[in-house]
Structure 1
């Protein structure tokens, strides 16, 4: 596994803490929480970029900003809309089709071969994620079609954002530019909060979770993911991404936010097996 692919794995590890930290930051309106976390991540990113004397990396063509801000802000906007309009389990289930889409899009968009062992690994990982997210759900009842469409749109948006980052037109964009994308996404999320959500402000006890979100899952993770998608193996990362919802659930259980059920254990086994199978593919 190359260092760039390992960077992508580190992003997946950080995203496993997203649900736990978001839970600790409750009850904040979702757009406000997203905007504050993006602001922290973007500010830390700009500070690092400035310290390295690389602020010029933020000057990018419009198409680069459209890809970066559209991917980060667009994905989160669609995801939160899905959670608001559709039952959360079903919305999350549809959202987590993005790892499969990344693997499948890596062929036509990046010219990477998909062999039977890799596809079998993806199938096992998908089965584990479906088992975990659908446990206890009673089908796709309730909610509006717009909510399900938003969840599917979120998956497509993140898959295209991830895979397109490594195409010839965008692969040369320096990772430092992600700091600008985070700040722009923060501005859009905070404007959305002002327009659509009731006014709120974090309590003192909520700030540690917000700062950790901005430093990790809504900050450093995007920089690491950019490296992984541009110089790593998107097929392997797409397969290993199925570990994120399982790891996230296990962390919630360890934090006393849930119980360890047989479905969680079986899902973990399927995801680990799928990742191991895909990792051994040539």
Structure 2
């Protein structure tokens, strides 16, 4: 029980930090481009993860093996995923981009069918229909019978980010690297790529202390400390479901912060759509698990 209490504390800490990042994204993107934000955040996260790898005595592991996986994994996360996600946040209200991004778990369930050969249950199908009905409500801003999106490119980018994130985790299903080492190696690949894109693109520009602080915050907390806290929570809890349910606390806190800090009026369509998305995620998560003997027979 003491271990479970520790896990819940770590999990709540991670969720609390993740709840602030939609606001941090919007603050940072009001001062700089998605690529500039990505470069600052990735650099900060790379330094943090490197320090943790040294502190844990994993330097030898980090330097000697795993780089063949990191070469492609690092291009997916952080480079492709966060660039697409930040581009979506740059075009959409934070509340809409945040809500749409929550469909990645359902995207992963759908993509697991062709990639891992898994089967969809009836509940998976129902959950997907419910959640993507929420996506439609958000994308049309409540005008569900009109095929006219307020920002079709922004909606498309948000949904593509969920596909990249889902693919990343599915393709990493057999990754034998420890999570901290994998994160540092991926960012070791990503940071030089982002640096090259910035040098041969807009170049380095100074946007002020607020912009820099927001970028450092994203790298330190969204990509760094929150990841470590969540890893500790999953490692210590007796059942993963106990901490995974905490993620449902994040959206309402994110909406409140976007309203208080950024000044975004909360749209009724966002509330309805987000409720449908979370209902779909809940149906998917709480479906009855097969008995132990059935699992062993597979």
TM-score (norm 1): 0.73
Within the candidate set 164, 171, 174, 1:164 is matched to 171
Q: Which moved more, 1:68-77 or 1:92-101?
A: 92-101
Q: Which moved more, 1:32-41 or 1:74-83?
A: 74-83
- Partner Cα distance (1:166, 1:66) in 2: 16
For 1:99-114, list aligned pairs within 5 A.
Answer: 99-110=105-116, 112-114=118-120
Residues 1:208 and 2:213 aligned together: yes
Could you tell me which runs of 5 or more consecutive residues in structure 1 were left unpaired when the two chains were aligned. Answer: none
Per-residue Cα deviation, 1:168-202 (whole angstroms, up to 9, x for no partner): xx1x1111221221243223223212211154124
Shift in Å, 1:49: 1.3
TM-score (norm 2): 0.69
Q: Is the 8 A contact 2:76 2:164 kept in 1?
A: yes
Could you tell me which runs of 5 or more consecutive residues in structure 2 were left unpaired when the two chains were aligned. Answer: 289-298
Within the candidate set 67, 71, 75, 2:72 is matched to 67
- Partner Cα distance (2:127, 2:13) in 1: 20
Q: Which moved more, 1:49-58 or 1:182-191?
A: 182-191
- Partner Cα distance (2:280, 2:11) in 1: 17
For 1:85-124, list aligned pairs within 5 A.
Answer: 88=92, 98-110=104-116, 112-124=118-130
> Please, what is the CA RMSD of the aligned residues?
4.3
Instruction: Please say which structure displays the higher CA radius of gyration.
Output: 2
For 1:86-235, list aligned pairs within 5 A.
Answer: 88=92, 98-110=104-116, 112-135=118-141, 139=148, 154-167=161-174, 170=175, 172-177=176-181, 178-221=183-226
Structure 2 residue matching 1:211: 3-state secondary structure: helix
Q: Which moved more, 1:126-135 or 1:50-59?
A: 126-135
Shift in Å, 1:125: 2.3
- For residue 41 of structure 1, what is the aligned residue in structure 2? 45
- For residue 33 of structure 2, what is the aligned residue in structure 1? 29
Q: Is the 8 A contact 1:78 1:154 kept in 2?
A: yes
- Partner Cα distance (1:216, 1:127) in 2: 31
- C-alpha spacing 1:136/1:108, structure 2 compared with 1 (3 Å): closer
Residues 1:19 and 2:22 aligned together: yes
